[in-house]
């Protein structure tokens, strides 16, 4: 009886721990963001893919490791502080200078 209880406990722990470790249970994303557009980077941050960049703005780049063309993607970063998701703007504010100037 004790062996059966031990096996049941181990099985229960495995069933609960493994999906959580892999992020399968409830990887939260910002409201309104589709699952296929969300690239999680932990529990409280991620990238939202909004589409491919146009060839005018961001031409196709070559992946140096694979030597194949790869299209650029558009999107934005999102972080969670407390219970609120925030969008991080990566466009510099007017009049802002790069850090090296």
- What pLDDT sits at residue 3? 74
Residue 29: name the closest of 40, 20, 19 by CA. Answer: 40
* pTM of model > 0.85: no
Confidence band, pLDDT 50/70/90 cuts, at residue 55: low
Q: Tell me phi and psi for residue 20, to 5 degrees.
A: -65, -40
Q: What pairing do the DSSP bridges indicate for beta strands 45-52 and 73-81?
A: antiparallel
Rounded distance between C-alpha atoms, residue 101 and residue 89, angstroms: 21
Domain parsing of the chain, residue ranges: 28-88
Of 50 and 22, the one with more pLDDT = 50
Rounded distance between C-alpha atoms, residue 5 and residue 14, angstroms: 14
């Amino acid at each position: 009886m004790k062996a059966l209880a031990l096996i049941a406990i181990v099985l229960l722990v495995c069933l609960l721990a493994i999906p959580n470790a892999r992020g399968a249970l409830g990887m939260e994303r910002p409201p309104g963001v589709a699952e296929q557009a969300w690239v999680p980077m932990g529990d409280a941050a991620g990238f939202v893919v909004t589409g491919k960049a146009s060839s005018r703005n961001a031409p196709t780049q070559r992946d140096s490791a694979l030597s194949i063309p790869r299209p650029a993607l558009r999107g934005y970063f999102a972080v969670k502080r407390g219970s609120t998701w925030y969008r991080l703007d990566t466009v510099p504010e007017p009049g802002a200078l790069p850090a090296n100037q």
